[in-house]
C-alpha cells in the first residue's frame, strides 16, 4: 500500500501488490476493472460488496453521527448487480493518429480507458456503444473531452426509459460545426427504432461540467417517456433522474408507505425536489405536496409531469431552498429532503430545528454527511427520534450507498 494524499483526517492510498487473494474475492466481470475508474468493488462478490457498504454506513453513523439506532439490511436486487444503469455520459478523445477513444477515466487521471462495452450499463444501451463508436470513428470530427486540443466532441450521452425501451442519444460538443451531423443523427433513428431522438448539447466552457445549458434537437423527439411508480415522466437530455430505476422505485415506495401509515394523507414539503420523482408519487397517494428546487428547468419539468399525470395537489417553487423553506415549514406536517452529496446546509438544519415538522424523511447519497446532519437533528440536543434507517444499493460494483432516514419528532 502506498500513501498518496492526506485530506483532513483521511489518507488516500493505492494498492501496490496483492499478497493473498481475498476470501470473498472473485474475477471482476469487466475486463477493464483494474484500470477503469468507474467501478471499484468488482473484485468482491455481490454479497461481500453489500456487507462492506453496510459496515461503512454503520461506522459513519456511529463515529460521525453518534447514532446507535441499527440500520436495516441493505435493500438490494441481485438480478440488477450488473446491467442496471439507464444512463451514461462517456468521455471521448481522438488521438494524434486519428483513433477515437471512448471510455471512463483511469483512476486518478484524465486518461481515457478505451471501451466497447460496459457491464453495468443496461444491455439495451450497451449494445449501442460499439456501433456508435464506429460511426464516430468514421467521421473526421475532432474529439477531446477536456478541450485541450481545441473544439470538438466531448461526451457521448445515452438515456433509456427502462419501462418503455425508449432511447435518447446525445452528442456533447463545444461546437455545432460538425459536417454531416444531422445526417448521422437521422441514420441512428432509422437504424434503431428504439432511438426516439438524437440531440446535440453544447458545452463550450473549459470546466468540469459535462453538460451545457443549450440543447438542440437533431432528429426525432427531445424527450423520452419513462414509467416510474405508475406515473408517466418525460426525461430530456439534461434531466436529472436516478440511474437505477427499480431501486429508485423501491426506496420511494418505502417512503410513501411509511408516511401514509404514520401520518395518513397530509401536507408535505419535498425539498431539493428535482423533477418531482418524490413529490409526484406522494401527490398520487393523496398528499398535498410543495416541491422546492433551485433549478428552474427542473421545476418546469416537474410541473409538466404533474400536468401529464393529472396531479392537482402538488405545486412547485423555484429558488434557493434555504430561502423558501422557513416560510413553508409552519404550514406542513411532513418534510422530505433529498440534498446533494454535501448534505444539508447548516442554515437549513437550523430552520428545521426551529420549526420541526412532525415527520422528517432524509434521502442521502453520502453516509458521512447524513451522519453529520443526523447528529444535530436526532442527537441529544435534537428534536427527532430515528424510526428507520434503510440503506439502498443504487450502484452495485461501486462504493456508493444511498440511505433513507425516517424520523419522528419527539
pLDDT tier, 22 (very low <50, low <70, confident <90, very high otherwise): low
- Verify that 29 and 96 share a domain, yes or no: no
| Residue 295 within a domain | yes
pLDDT in tens, 338-361: 999 999 999 999 999 999 999 999
Do both 350 and 287 map to the same domain? yes
Are 259 and 402 in the same domain? yes
pLDDT category at 20 given cuts 50, 70, 90 is very low
3-class DSSP string for the chain: CEEEEEECCEEEEECCCCCCCCCCECCCCCCCCCCECCCCCCCECHHHHHHHHHHHHHHHHHHCCCCCCCCCCCECCHHHCCCCECEEEEEEEECCCCCEEECCEECCCCCECCCCCCCCECHHHHHHHHHHHHHHHHCCCCEECCCCCCCCEEEEEEEECCCCCCEEEEEEECCCCCCCHHHHHHHHHHHCCCEEEEEEEECCCCCCCCCCCEEEEEEECCCEEEEECCEEEEECCCCCCCCCHHHHHHHHHHHHHHHHHHHCCCEEEEECCCCCCCHHHHHHCCCEEEEEECCHHHHHHHHHHHHHCCCCCEEEEECCHHHHHHHHHHHCCEEEECCCCCCCCHHHHHHHHHCCCCEEEEEECCHHHHHHHHHHHHCCCCCEEEEEEEEECCCCCCCCCEEEEEEEEC
Question: How many structural domains is the chain composed of?
Answer: 3
pLDDT of residue 15: 62
Q: What CATH code is carried by the domain that includes residue 246?
A: 3.40.50.150
- As a whole number of angstroms, the distance between CA 403 and CA 394 comes to 10
Q: Does residue 22 sit in the same domain as residue 112?
A: no
Would you say residue 145 lies in a domain? Answer: yes
Question: Which domain-ending residue is among 173, 192, 222?
Answer: 222
Residue range 84-96: average pLDDT? 96
Lowest mean pLDDT among 30-44, 90-104, 117-131, 157-171: 30-44
Give the Cα separation of 141 and 136 in Å (integer). Answer: 8
pLDDT for the residue numbered 36 = 83
Cβ–Cβ < 8 Å for 386, 374: yes
Whole-number pLDDT of residue 19: 46
Question: Are 114 and 193 in the same domain?
Answer: yes
Quick one: average pLDDT of 91-118? Answer: 91
What is the predicted pLDDT for the residue at 18? 56
Within a domain: 400: yes
- Given 166, 194, 222, the domain boundary residue is 222
Mean pLDDT of 53-82: 94
pLDDT tens readout for residues 154-176: 999 999 999 999 999 999 999 99
Residue 148: inside a domain, yes or no?
yes
Q: What is the pLDDT of residue 81?
A: 94
One domain, residues 326 and 250: yes
Domain assignment of residue 36, given as a range:
2-43
Question: 287-341 pLDDT, tens per residue?
Answer: 999 999 999 999 999 999 999 999 999 999 999 999 999 999 999 999 999 999 9
* Claim to verify: residue 67 and residue 96 sit in the same structural domain: no
Residues 271 and 345 in one domain: yes
Q: What is the mean pLDDT of the chain?
A: 93
Which among 192, 222, 252 is the end of a domain? 222
Lowest mean pLDDT among 37-51, 234-248, 368-382: 37-51
Instruction: Confirm whether 233 is domain-assigned.
Output: no
Catalytic residue status for 189: no
Q: Are residues 138 and 214 in the same domain?
A: yes
How far is residue 80's CA from residue 77's CA, in Å, rounded to a whole number?
A: 5
Q: What's the CATH number where 177 sits?
A: 2.40.50.1070
Query: Do 104 and 212 share a domain, yes or no?
Result: yes
Query: Is 399 inside a domain boundary?
Result: yes
Give 94's pLDDT tier (boundaries 50, 70, 90): very high
Instruction: For residues 287 and 324, state if they share a domain.
Output: yes
**What's the pLDDT at 229?**
97
Q: 300 and 391: one domain?
A: yes
pLDDT (average), residues 128-146: 96
Classify residue 203: in a domain, yes or no: yes
pTM beyond 0.85, yes or no: yes
**Which of the residues 36, 39, 365, 403 is marked catalytic?**
365
Amino acid at each position: 500500500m502506498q500513501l498518496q494524499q492526506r485530506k483532513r483526517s483521511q489518507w488516500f492510498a493505492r494498492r501496490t501488490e496483492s499478497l493473498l487473494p481475498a476470501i470473498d474475492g472473485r474475477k471482476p466481470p469487466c475486463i477493464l476493472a483494474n484500470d477503469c475508474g468507474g467501478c471499484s468493488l468488482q473484485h468482491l462478490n455481490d454479497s461481500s460488496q453489500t456487507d462492506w457498504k453496510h459496515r461503512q454506513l454503520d461506522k459513519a453513523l456511529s463515529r460521525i453521527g453518534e447514532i446507535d439506532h441499527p440500520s436495516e439490511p441493505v435493500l438490494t436486487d441481485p438480478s440488477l448487480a450488473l446491467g442496471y444503469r439507464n444512463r451514461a455520459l462517456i468521455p471521448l478523445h481522438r488521438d494524434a493518429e486519428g483513433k477515437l477513444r471512448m471510455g471512463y477515466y483511469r483512476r486518478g487521471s484524465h486518461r481515457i480507458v478505451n471501451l466497447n462495452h460496459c457491464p453495468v450499463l443496461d444491455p439495451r444501451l450497451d449494445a449501442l456503444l460499439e456501433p456508435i463508436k464506429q460511426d464516430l470513428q468514421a467521421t473526421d470530427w475532432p474529439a477531446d473531452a477536456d478541450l485541450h486540443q481545441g473544439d470538438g466532441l466531448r461526451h457521448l450521452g445515452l438515456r433509456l426509459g427502462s419501462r418503455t425501451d425508449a432511447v435518447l442519444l446525445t452528442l456533447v460538443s463545444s461546437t455545432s460545426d460538425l459536417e454531416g451531423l444531422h445526417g448521422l443523427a437521422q441514420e441512428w433513428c432509422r437504424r434503431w427504432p428504439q432511438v426516439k431522438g438524437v440531440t446535440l448539447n453544447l458545452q463550450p466552457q473549459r470546466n468540469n461540467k459535462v453538460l451545457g445549458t443549450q440543447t438542440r434537437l437533431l432528429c426525432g423527439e427531445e424527450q423520452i417517456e419513462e414509467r416510474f411508480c405508475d406515473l408517466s415522466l418525460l426525461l430530456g437530455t439534461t434531466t436529472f433522474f436516478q440511474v437505477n430505476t427499480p431501486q429508485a422505485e423501491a426506496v420511494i415506495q418505502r417512503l410513501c408507505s411509511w408516511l401514509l401509515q404514520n401520518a395518513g394523507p397530509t401536507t408535505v414539503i419535498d425539498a431539493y425536489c428535482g423533477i418531482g420523482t418524490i413529490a409526484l408519487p406522494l401527490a398520487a397517494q393523496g398528499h398535498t405536496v410543495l416541491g422546492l428546487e433551485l433549478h428552474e428547468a427542473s421545476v418546469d419539468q416537474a410541473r409538466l409531469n404533474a400536468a401529464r399525470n393529472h396531479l392537482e395537489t402538488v405545486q412547485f417553487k423555484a429558488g434557493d431552498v434555504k430561502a423558501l423553506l422557513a416560510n413553508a415549514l409552519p404550514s406542513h406536517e411532513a418534510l422530505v429532503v433529498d440534498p446533494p452529496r454535501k448534505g444539508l446546509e447548516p442554515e437549513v438544519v437550523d430552520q428545521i430545528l426551529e420549526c420541526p415538522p412532525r415527520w422528517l424523511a432524509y434521502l442521502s447519497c453520502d453516509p458521512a454527511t447524513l451522519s453529520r446532519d443526523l447528529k444535530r437533528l436526532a442527537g441529544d440536543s435534537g428534536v427527532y427520534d430515528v424510526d428507520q434507517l434503510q440503506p439502498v444499493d443504487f450502484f452495485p460494483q461501486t462504493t456508493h450507498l444511498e440511505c433513507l432516514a425516517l424520523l419522528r419528532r419527539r
